[in-house]
Amino acid sequence: MAARSILVVEDDGLIRMDLVDTLLDGGFEVIDAANADQALALLEKHPMVGAILTDIDMPGSMNGLGLAKIASERWPDCRIIVISGRYNPNQGAMPEGSLFLSKPISVEGLAAALQEMRITPR
């Protein structure tokens, strides 16, 4: 797995599939997980992941905000974008420097967010 690849974490299979397709179209390398626990296991295996795109509400031992917190502590260089249909988490709930996107996400909205976070294909 090359550096600067993106990890997509989303429990809804359809939305995950479409996010992955959109990122692949953008020239990124993508791996995906259906929940935070799977995502952490993937991060252990692929420490060169450059960015995480994660949903908040997911089954498992922690939600997307928990994943974002742990990831930001252990892989401080990893960029984090949080996505949810539920709420705009206040600043305290999200790691510093991370970005929030509200569902549903447009292709342009996603592209703008990636650009803002300086996440580019290698």
CA–CA separation, 83 and 81 (whole Å) = 7
Compute the radius of gyration of the chain from its Cα atoms. Answer: 13
**Among 45-53, 62-70, 102-110, 113-121, the segment contacting other proteins (CB under 8 A):** 102-110
Per the DSSP assignment, residues forming a β-bridge with 84 are 102
**Among 7-15, 41-49, 70-78, 88-96, the segment contacting other proteins (CB under 8 A):** 7-15
CA–CA separation, 110 and 122 (whole Å) = 17
Which of 3, 13, 41, 88 touches other proteins (CB under 8 A)?
13
**Among 44-52, 61-69, 72-80, 84-92, the segment contacting other proteins (CB under 8 A):** 84-92
Q: Which residues bind other proteins (CB under 8 A)?
A: 11-18, 21-22, 59, 85-87, 102-105
